Amino acid sequence: MAPPSADGLKVIILGCGIAGLTTALALTKFAPQGQVPKIDIYEIRPEPAVIGGAVNLTPNALRMLDYLGCLQIMKDRDYGKTIDYLEVFDVYSGKLAESSFRGPEGKGVGDPPYKALRITRGDALKAVLAAVDAQENITMTCGKRTVKIDEQKDNVTIHFDDGDSATGELLMGCDGIHSVTRLKHVEPDRKATYSGVANAFGFAPIEPDFKVHFECTAINFARRGMLLTSYFNSKMDAVYVGGLMQVPDVG
């Protein structure tokens, strides 16, 4: 919660998603004493996008989020569903195996113990945003489209489509699959290629008396793909469904 120090690095982060925000929190948390960085985060969208599917935060992820002050916010707001174990099914032969997060004593993995948490990307982002809002050294600016990156010996300058620019000593590209940092600076000649696999996801409400085939979360394998099914809130009144399939390139 300390303001930036005079001797702290001036850091620019592109991307106001979970990666960019947790990077800012980590740089703040691990900064040497008296060298709190000044961190400016720029986001292309008009506001942080609280959309997307549901992610499984494993014990290592929860440990990190706890250290950064985000996990308690998730607990206080009742975000997500604790996952004791993940079940693996074959559509033809039934349950094959499970991957447990319960640990040897049933309390979780590690010391202190953590299990897993299935949470929507939107709720996870809201919790991390709340943690970032408490930091005096971090500022966020939305609606900024980066069009050029100039790297010098001691600094880097990013230019926006509205004519503004920002200069820092360190640039962190956390701007997702269509990263401007990568496309315009790191690997501008590298072109995306289709992997042959497509995904689709959504959320399905369920009736109180409807019996699902899994306890918490499951991966269901078939010949040409898989289907993920999981609870994602403590009410357990809906299921997250995500499918992966081999699909010809129709683009």
Give the β-pairing of 10-14 and 170-173.
parallel
Distance between CA atoms of residues 31 and 98, nearest Å: 40
Residue extents of the structural domains in the chain:
10-51+124-186
- A 10 A CB-CB count for 104 gives 9
The predicted structure's pLDDT at residue 122: 96
Q: Does the structure show a pLDDT above 90 at 5?
A: no
Q: What pLDDT digit, counting tens, does each position of 120-159 carry?
A: 999 999 999 999 999 999 999 999 999 999 999 999 999 9
Q: What tens digit of pLDDT does each residue of 154-213 get?
A: 999 999 999 999 999 999 999 988 889 988 888 888 888 899 999 999 999 999 889 999
Q: Mean per-residue pLDDT for 73-100?
A: 97
Decide if 117 contacts 84 (C-beta within 8 A): no
* DSSP tag of 224: S
* The CATH number of the domain covering residues in 10-51+124-186: 3.50.50.60
Q: What is the pTM of this model?
A: 0.92
- CA–CA dist 110, 114 (Å, integer): 7
Q: Is the pLDDT of residue 2 over 80?
A: no
Q: What local confidence, expressed as pLDDT, does residue 35 receive?
A: 94
Burial 3-21 (b: 16+ CB within 10 A, else e): ebbeebbebbbbbbbbbbb
**103/250: higher pLDDT:** 103
Q: What pLDDT band is residue 67 in, cutting at 50, 70 and 90?
A: very high
**Residue 6 pLDDT exceeds 90:** no
Over residues 75-98, mean pLDDT: 97
